[in-house]
Amino acid sequence: MSLFEFSPHKKFPEYYEECRLTGVLRYLPAKQREYGDSYFMEEYKSQYKKSYYDDEPNLRGMAKRRLHNLESVGAKPKGSSLLEIGSAAGFFLDEARTAGYHTRGLELSPKEVEYSKSTLGLDVDQTSVLSVDSLLWKHSFDVIAAFFVIEHIEDIEGIWKRLGDWILPGGHLYLAVPSSFGPSFQTNPKEWFLTHPTDHFFDYSVHSLKKLLSILGFEVNYVRPMSYHSYRDLGPRGKLPEWLYRLYANQFAYGDTIELIARKLKH
């Protein structure tokens, strides 16, 4: 039985199909591309104006914050297993290992895999998540993390089947994704589509993720915007005082990017 049933989006049929079961949006112009070393390094520098390795202190700080978020919803690192899909150079995995997790990573970039293994001594495979059979790691991980990865995967059924199968009952899924429930798409769709990455096949939101995760037997424990861009909001929310805008954004996970933690129910 399929998790998704897509049909043309009512307002933007030239750009999107919408899943009637979950509300996930399929971006129709999306195209596959190669995720090698140059992609990773160039994309990161283009977005953050510094190289991935130059940004290591900030990335490790973010990793520690994310690990704290996991503990705050009941994840216990000591002796638990953690898989990161799209583990890059391994900074998050390294911090997770220090916290007590038994870690494993999947990464496509040969250079980042080599750095993870040779410099940090991590267990990382240079392979796609879809190349691992969904039954191979059934109920194998207490935590699976994927930060800005799942939107790049065209086989949406394949990735979500693996996420659902591989996490142990009582375990946690930690995602960071671009969100369609944020100021850009909600109030300035013209700009949204002009700047939409060509290799993002799907767009999620707090609402579609909650529906999808509920179908898969998860409950959402934590969700927050990753950043606040009131200046992008061309609607009434953009006129709110900054403190009130942030209060609203936190309450409703309103942002162009969000983080979410969900726990797999035991029954």
Q: Whats the size of the chain, residue-wise?
A: 267
pLDDT of residue 15: 98
Angstrom CA distances, 210 to 46, 117, 214, stand at 32, 35, 6
Confidence band of 267 (pLDDT split at 50, 70, 90) = low
Predicted structure pTM score: 0.94
Binning pLDDT at 50, 70 and 90, where does residue 38 land? Answer: low
In this structure, what token pair is assigned to residue 165?
């199968």
How confident is the model over 63-70, as a mean pLDDT?
98
Over 90: is that where the pLDDT of 24 sits?
A: yes
User: Residue 143 — pLDDT band, cuts 50, 70, 90?
Assistant: very high
Domains by residue range for the chain, with CATH = 58-264 (3.40.50.150)
Per the prediction, the chain carries an average pLDDT of: 94
